[in-house]
Structure 1
Amino acid sequence: MNAAALKQWILDGKLDEKFAVLYGKDQIETQKARYMEAVDAFVELYGDKENLTLFSAPGRTEIAGNHTDHNHGRVVAASVNLDVIAVASKNDSGLIRIKSKGYRMDTVDTGDLEVKPEEDNKAISLIRGTAARFVQKGLKIGGLDAYTTSNVLKGSGLSSSAAFEVLVGTILNHTYNEGAVSPVAIAQYAQYAENVYFGKPSGLMDQMASSVGSVITIDFADTEAPVIEQMDFDLADMGCALCIVDVGGSHADLTHEYAAIPVEMKQVASYFGKEVLRGVTCRELLDNAPAVREKFGDRAFLRAFHFINENERVGKIVDAIRSKDYDAFKRLLIESGNSSFRYLQNVYANPVPQEQGMSIALAIAEQVLEGRGAWRVHGGGFGGTTQNFVPFDKVEEFRREIESVFGEGSCHILSIRSIGGTQVL
């Protein structure tokens, strides 16, 4: 349908049920306005089209397994009710043109899908890389016009880049492949784009959580065929809200800090004749501590120690979720956060110790929530966000304390979304 018909469709409430599932009933009117504004922006850029479609890909929250995925570990993650949306239409030019709100237009020629070093760390590389992976897998691609807008906080640990990659893959899937590509495959193509084209050595958790949706546990022992299980996890049943605190820092310019983590873990793995740490035991690591420390340094040893114990902890957290043992769940989450702070060391960047917003947010959380809630570093680290499970009767106090330090709007109360990357219409 064209723009006028699409906007009328939205106004008439034809997407209300879908919006309620994606965002919650209280967000329906907000999302109507948001999607109609996106339609207007599309028309302003590309003119009206007869075949307009709508897409959404969510951000994600990592619940367990901090920096375990890239060494073939286990994770628990969930999609959240913040997302990147797109208004899209097929074109016959062979060009993929995507304009994201607040950014310049990115144009990719589908006849030129080679890696371009000058596109490192730029959104255009994610578009080119995702399209290239579709072609490598024998799938169809073609010309595309799209306008996107996001409320996933950039550099926040909610994986705005993964959501964007999954969005591009989801659009190509439904526009040119009749929706035949699985959410798991779209996540794998997205990770390929981020690793090979964007130049960031991310694991697969972010893309998988965005693409598959809901609360999932993933075992990456075989990254080509990860074992994925959706789980029933009700925040209301636990009596807690999920509060993500944005401390204002961004790891967008700290890729080298982020990238050092998998590199150092894999260095330690190489000592044991392995490519990744999965399969190395804590006993083996401790028995070889002097040699590992001498060869790779103390930080690499500590990061390996974190991985091995965090990976075991994920299994315990999965058990706690399944048995609805929420006291154990919260205790294990705090243990995870402490391990990240002490051993993984991704709460602040060593070159800038004067910037420790995340450390302060964790200190406030401990002060307010001790004995009742849980708190931890969230996502890649080095600034960004903390994750907090806050008892309902503590939410306003928690928000007040956090926002007195980090400013109004820094405490985001999120819900878990049951659907991953999807065609909305």
Structure 2
Amino acid sequence: MAGVAEEFGRLYGYEPEGVWEAPGRVNLIGEHTDYNDGFVMPFALPHTAVAAFGRRTDTAVRAHSADLPGEPVVVADPAPGASAGWADYVASVVWALRDAGHAVGGVDVHLASTVPTGAGLSSSAALEVVVALALNDLFELGLERQQLASLCQRAENDYVGAPTGIMDQTASACCTAGHALFLDTRDLSQRQVPFDLASLGLRLLVVDTQVKHSHSEGEYGKRRAGCEAGAAELGVSALRDVPFASLPESLDRLSCDEIRGLVRHIVTENHRVERVISLLDAGDVRAIGPVLVEGHASLRDDFRVSCPELDLVVDSAVAAGALGARMTGGGFGGSAIVLVEEPSSDQVAKSVVEAFASHGLTEPRVFTAVPAAGARRVR
């Protein structure tokens, strides 16, 4: 944090008024359900976006990233369509708050992040949330965490142009250490579920395939449009309203195999979230492993958002003795999670790395995911 504050002073010639951080996230189960009014279960990572802020006397935004060379990017009048590259994730939150009627002035920002970009770990949401929390404090807006998350979602949807749901921003803003967040994305009700794997002799590995993805690219939007088309054909406001028990009859009413697959995934994935919640509440954590594998198969075959590298992680990890594994995040690259017994975690990780090498692929990054705290002020 000290380095971020010092670099802010070097860039802008005055001391920052504070430093904030917001985490990336891993989604344990519940993929692509958030924009279908469904259930999700993410938890925050120790990896964070850290940002120092100072208020300006005008309405402009100056933003600088430690990961990019050069001078700060200046956005004189944040508005959708005024593309400023990565700085859109800063300017969009300023715009969303102002557009909602909040008195937010100009700011200078210096950012550093340890959340891997393009890895399906919500690096963009971490950046949005750290900006929103800092502005909330600096301008004394008095907004609750979920309100900030919803404004960040609007910023990403309407300014950046990525049709994401509400999960990523809510996880970054609202998660607590040692817990997974059970979130109903329809009414935004939350429950913090204890998720202390270490005490049970378990680990959850994150495997970053190093295959980059972008939510603003067309395939993600196509899946969302297909889900909306399926809901319209079934006469429901969202696929959340399709009962699991009547899924076969619902599928028979749909017009094509492509929409059938999307609907089948969403309905069964909501059911998987409920199964995982029941298992965690019963203390049977190891039993969620097969549910993770089922979820990956559904994302691969029905929703069609996996890729060969993600499939290789899951197949090689399970073959090496993992309790379960699945891709996490939006797909088309990014990361997978692997649930393992602690004594075998190193061997499972080694097997995955060796599988990538045998296929001539870039070595994946593997680390242990520990449920961490949500966004906070650190200085």
TM-score, normalised to structure 2's length? 0.91
Q: Which of 167, 172, 185 is the equivalent residue of 2:135?
A: 172
Query: How far apart in 2 are the matches of 1:335 and 1:395?
Result: 21
Partner of 1:321: 280
Alignment of 1:14-413 (within 5 A): 35-49=1-15, 51-103=16-68, 105-109=72-76, 112-116=77-81, 119=83, 122-177=85-140, 180-214=142-176, 215-222=180-187, 226-252=188-214, 255-282=217-244, 285-292=247-254, 295=255, 297-348=256-307, 356-370=308-322, 373-404=323-354, 405=356, 410-413=365-368
Secondary structure of the residue aligned to 1:94 is coil
Partner of 2:378: 424
AA of the residue aligned to 1:403: V
Cα deviation for residue 282 of structure 1 reads 4.5
Query: How far apart in 1 are the matches of 2:215 and 2:32?
Result: 18
Secondary structure of the residue aligned to 2:40 is strand
Secondary structure of the residue aligned to 1:362 is helix
Query: How far apart in 2 are the matches of 1:78 and 1:253?
Result: 20
Q: For the Cα contact (< 8 Å) 2:63–2:110, is it kept in 1?
A: yes
Q: 1:380-419, CA deviations, whole angstroms, 9 ceiling, x for partnerless residues?
A: 11111101112111121122223332656611222110x2
Query: How far apart in 2 are the matches of 1:315 and 1:88?
Result: 40
Cα deviation for residue 253 of structure 1 reads 7.6
Query: How far apart in 2 are the matches of 1:134 and 1:158?
Result: 24
AA of the residue aligned to 2:5: V
Cα deviation for residue 243 of structure 1 reads 1.0
Q: 1:334-383, CA deviations, whole angstroms, 9 ceiling, x for partnerless residues?
A: 222222122122112xxxxxxx211211121111125xx22001111111
AA of the residue aligned to 1:412: F
Structure 1 residue ranges without an equivalent (≥5): 1-34, 349-355
Cα deviation for residue 174 of structure 1 reads 0.9
Secondary structure of the residue aligned to 2:320 is helix
Query: How far apart in 1 are the matches of 2:241 and 2:184?
Result: 13
Q: For the Cα contact (< 8 Å) 2:183–2:191, is it kept in 1?
A: yes
Query: How far apart in 1 are the matches of 2:237 and 2:74?
Result: 37
Q: 1:224-269, CA deviations, whole angstroms, 9 ceiling, x for partnerless residues?
A: xx11111211111332122111111111287211222111111111
Query: How far apart in 2 are the matches of 1:366 and 1:342?
Result: 18
Secondary structure of the residue aligned to 2:241 is coil
Query: How far apart in 2 are the matches of 1:128 and 1:191?
Result: 13
Q: For the Cα contact (< 8 Å) 1:337–1:377, is it kept in 2?
A: yes
Cα deviation for residue 153 of structure 1 reads 0.7
Query: How far apart in 2 are the matches of 1:343 and 1:202?
Result: 19
Query: How far apart in 2 are the matches of 1:47 and 1:167?
Result: 22
Structure-2 change in CA distance of 1:283 and 1:312 (3 Å) = closer
Partner of 1:8: none
AA of the residue aligned to 1:166: V
AA of the residue aligned to 1:360: L
Secondary structure of the residue aligned to 2:288 is helix
Cα deviation for residue 327 of structure 1 reads 2.8
Structure-2 change in CA distance of 1:422 and 1:52 (3 Å) = same
Secondary structure of the residue aligned to 1:155 is coil
More helix as a share of residues:
1
Partner of 1:353: none
Secondary structure of the residue aligned to 1:203 is coil
Structure-2 change in CA distance of 1:217 and 1:283 (3 Å) = closer
Q: For the Cα contact (< 8 Å) 1:125–1:193, is it kept in 2?
A: no
Query: How far apart in 2 are the matches of 1:333 and 1:347?
Result: 14
AA of the residue aligned to 1:177: E
Cα deviation for residue 277 of structure 1 reads 1.0
Partner of 1:4: none
Secondary structure of the residue aligned to 1:344 is coil
Q: For the Cα contact (< 8 Å) 2:5–2:19, is it kept in 1?
A: no
Query: How far apart in 2 are the matches of 1:84 and 1:392?
Result: 29
Structure-2 change in CA distance of 1:44 and 1:256 (3 Å) = same
Q: 1:121-151, CA deviations, whole angstroms, 9 ceiling, x for partnerless residues?
A: x433332331222123332211211110111
Q: For the Cα contact (< 8 Å) 2:164–2:215, is it kept in 1?
A: no
In the alignment of these two chains, the number of paired residues is 369
Backbone CA RMSD of aligned residues: 2.0
Query: How far apart in 1 are the matches of 2:79 and 2:59?
Result: 15
